[in-house]
Structure 1
Amino acid sequence: MHELSIAHSLVEIAEEAAAKAGVARVTVVHLRLGTLSGVVRDALLFGFDVASAGTRLEGARLEIEEVPLQVYCETCDTVVALPDVRYFRCPQCGAACRRIVTGQEIELAALEYEDDTPEATAS
């Protein structure tokens, strides 16, 4: 289950970013996850809960944006989405497509956090 090691890495990166920003608690972690990433979504969600225990991310929600597989078709000179990851052929012209444009991502996109900054009081 490599998802647990990915979850640990996500927590480590988010912890570092939160510390630099002076954030006490992260509430949401936004992740972009490509179709070809090889990551099982449910296993990653479980791993994230385990990895975030005892950190400023404990209890945070992991929001996963699934990134579709898109390739560049040289024949059509365009980027096309592939409906089936087993066949790297342009759905418009049938040409073989070699260049993957999106779909391999495992990207920490954003963090949401609680603002613990004390507000100024008016006299």
Structure 2
Amino acid sequence: MSASDPQSLREIGPKRRVMAWRLLPLNDNTASCSLTSNKVTSLGRHPASDIRVGELVLSATHCKFYVDDCTPPTLRIQDLSSNGTWVNEKRLVKGEKSNLADGDRIVLSRGSDKLIGYDVEYA
């Protein structure tokens, strides 16, 4: 069978992105989201953000997530904010990238009346 043969295509199937990571919100005002391989995902107030969080304490582009397509897929976060991003209580320096693991906690705001952030889950 050749790759152009319809039977071959059914067996191979279309290339699909497999969900590898999920962000579970720390409060009810934010939706959970899935992060897929080989994609950079932006989070912030800006309408063009992939994950839009309409809180004034967040930067327009607060941070970015990177999922590297390897086995197992790795997840990194990069802080781009003026107000800070914390991973497991450690503040990232603006521009810094940090590896994330299943069970990590990301906090995007501190000192406001509500906690904005996510728990990281490998799915």
Normalising by the smaller structure, the TM-score range is under 0.3
> Going by fraction, where is helix more abundant, 1 or 2?
1
What is the TM-score with the length of structure 2 in the denominator?
Answer: 0.26
> Going by fraction, where is strand more abundant, 1 or 2?
2
Structure whose alpha-carbon radius of gyration is higher = 1
